A and B are shown apart, each in its own frame.
Chain A
Amino acid sequence: MDALTNISIGLGIALEFYHMAVMLTGLVIGVVAGALPGISFVNAMAIALPFTYMMTPLGAMVFLGGIYAGGVFGGSISAILINIPGVPSSLPSCWEGFPMTRRGESAKALTIAITAAATGGLVSALVLTFAAPPFASFALRFDQPEFFAATMLGLVSIIAVARGTPWISFLSLFLGIAIGSVGTDPVYGVPRLTFGFSALEGGIDFVVVMIGLFALCEVLEMLGKHAYQNSDARVKLRPPTKKELWGLRGPIGRGTFLGNIIGLIPGAGATVAALVAYSIEKTISPRKSEFGTGVPAGLAAPEAAGNATTGAAMVPLMTLGIPGSAACAIMLAAMILHGITPGPMLFAMQSDMVYAIFASFLLANLCMIVAGVFVAKGFSSLLRVPPTILGAFIVILSVLGAYGVRNNVVDIYLCLTFGVLGHLMKRFNFPSTPLILGVILGPLAERYFITAMANYDNDLTIFFTRPISATIVAFTVIFILWALTPDLLVKYNRRRRKKREMMEKNLRSREAA
């Protein structure tokens, strides 16, 4: 009851004109920044941070919370419409959303994404409201082994994406991990795989790889075959029916649940949640063989999961001061800037402010539907532009996006190289998705592994002896077995059938003889 009373007080504060205005401004900035390739919402939050000086502490948190809530969804707009994931967690939206756009179903894909993202976000805001205080004591048990185990769960999700090509997919994944490890190592400061090029010592950013492999590769194909002509898009532009949306309640529910659980784990974040949700959906879906061709369930689940992490990731931030993601780290910086100390004492001393932040997060997720629709409508008009013109601007935005990572021209060269590589990979059916996953999660896994080993005397059993870590590892093993069983069964049945045919053939030839 306490929480209900507190949230109603918080809602009253959040609904004040000033707080609503800054929240809506932040929301629109977040959706637009997320949708523009290269200007991620995290960058937007970082740029906006100094502007919060002129705001009240609560106003600053509400403003940044708006950017955060809108930004995670915004990345999906460009992923669905032009195959450029605005944020890493929008990767599954490229796999399922963009094929829908190519079929002329962009409105349907966007509506599904907005509905799923808003549902995930709303539930996570409720989780934030009601789970934050009890979580404070539980989250104290999380350490490097748990973070490593969670990252490994994200990495093995590739099994579901592998689609009957396990050797090549895992090779691609390991290649991605190797690319992700290029540069100076995070603990000892030793340059790895740089071959004497000082420009590589800073590493290869996943954004650069992602933009190259997805956006540039797509533009080159667009140039080569003029793939999605826009007359089609205009004819078939229709949103999904209520029945179709209701049919997605399962994927959205599962994604929301997963996103909330994974979001609570500091460091795991929206990307892991979206990928795991996609993999699980692919494993259990009756349309699993069609995944990658624009299956709505494959779009809805990761969208819900990605946004469900936003509120959940704020739980460890507010209760313990542990930022669960880069966005949360900026929120933490803002809290410190404004003299707010996160932790259990914050709930006791400034509960009005805490619950006003929670309430504005709830409102931001509700308003996101409107903001998302408006921004998506603006982006949808892009589809009416001839592919050649659109392609030219995608390349320029990609180049700017790569440059914007570190303001370094080397990133442009890397991005273009990965674009060419992506084209070659596509032509030879070499999967690029596992590579991306390796580049994104590899460095995280390395950092967690090295620090876990350093903190626990190089004891590998630590991942299996700590209860939470062991539970996540068990989930990982169950997931691998679950994902591999159908493939193994098919192979086993095929082999048995061949053996039987061979025996019958021998029998017939013996009889004939």
Chain B
Amino acid sequence: MVNHERTGIIRHLLPPMLFIVAVPVLLRYLAPDIGQADAMARGLAGPVSWPRFALYGVLFCAVGWLIQSLRQMRREAQTWRLGQPAASDDETMEPEQDEAFNEPLIWSGVALTLAYGFLIPVVGFALATMAYLLFWLLLGGIRKPVLITGITVLGTVLLLYVFVKLALMPLDRGQGMFDGITVSLYRLLRIY
């Protein structure tokens, strides 16, 4: 298989195929006891009728998309043989090429943000936010220590005042010793 054919298959066929494979699995595990859920249905409307309708809709559209992609691939293959550029098709899914993204930086940001989310229940909102701000600013290329410290500390304090003191949001304080540190911080800031 030629390289361009392989990338064509991946680009055009893989996404709709993924949906076509996933939908039957989701339909199978729609409810803990699908038989019982179906038995509860009176006529058209049961507990699983609506999600089932949505999933059938996904399946139907995925099949339509696959057919569309196959047609597009056939057209591309023909034009490849003729040595002409392939005609563009509106209904294909192609990665954007027009803007230059720093992908490693984006994925580092994703990792940092996910880590932030998972750290909140462990170390508490205040400490996790402080750490997150610090690393995010470093990741974004800010190197001035005064600016980093100022934004990290003042930003966290401001957020704590607005959301904990004023909006009374019960934000996570963390577990074990982190809970104690957060409570001390709140007392220091006169939030508690």
Show the binding face of A for B, using Cβ within 8 Å.
Answer: 39, 47, 164-168, 170-171, 173-175, 177-178, 181-182, 185, 187-196, 216, 219-221, 223-225, 386-389, 391-393, 395-396, 399-400, 403-404, 407, 409, 412-413, 415-416, 419-420, 423, 426-430, 438, 442, 445-446, 449-450, 453-454, 457-458, 460
Choose among B15, B42, B136 the residue that contacts A395 (Cβ–Cβ < 8 A).
B136
Known: A388-B137, A389-B137, A395-B113. A171 touches B65 (CB 8 A): yes
Known: A190-B47, A192-B48. A392 touches B132 (CB 8 A): yes
Closest to B46 in A: A188
Q: Could you list 11 A-B pairs, sorted by A, with CB under 8 Å?
A: A192-B51, A194-B32, A223-B106, A391-B136, A396-B132, A396-B133, A403-B169, A403-B171, A407-B169, A407-B170, A412-B117
Q: Judge if B80 is at the interface, Cβ distance under 8 Å.
A: no
Question: SS class of chain A's interface: helix, strand, loop or mixed?
Answer: helix
On chain B, the number of residues with a Cβ less than 8 Å from chain A's Cβ atoms is: 69
Inside 8 A of A177's CB, which chain B residues have their CB?
50-51, 53-54, 57
Q: Judge if B29 is at the interface, Cβ distance under 8 Å.
A: yes
Contact with A along B92-111 (1 / 0, CB 8 A): 01111001111101100110
Closest to B167 in A: A39
From residue B147, how far is it (CB to closest CB) to chain A in Å?
A: 9
Report whether A196 and B32 are in contact in the complex, using a CB–CB cutoff of 8 Å. Answer: yes
Show the binding face of B for A, using Cβ within 8 Å.
Answer: 15, 19, 26, 29-32, 37, 40, 42-51, 53-55, 57-58, 61-62, 64-65, 68, 90-91, 93-96, 99-103, 105-106, 109-110, 113-114, 116-118, 120-121, 129, 132-133, 136-137, 139-142, 151, 155, 159, 163, 167, 169-172
Known: A165-B90, A389-B151. A174 touches B55 (CB 8 A): yes
CA distance A445 to B54 in the complex (A): 12
CA distance A177 to B58 in the complex (A): 10
From residue B133, how far is it (CB to closest CB) to chain A in Å?
A: 5
Closest to A419 in B: B113
From residue A442, how far is it (CB to closest CB) to chain B in Å?
A: 7
Question: SS class of chain B's interface: helix, strand, loop or mixed?
Answer: helix
User: A47-B167, A167-B65, A400-B159 known; 13 other A-B pairs, CB under 8 Å?
Assistant: A164-B90, A185-B47, A191-B31, A192-B30, A220-B110, A223-B106, A223-B140, A404-B169, A449-B50, A450-B49, A453-B43, A454-B45, A458-B44
Number of A-B contacts (CB under 8 A): 198
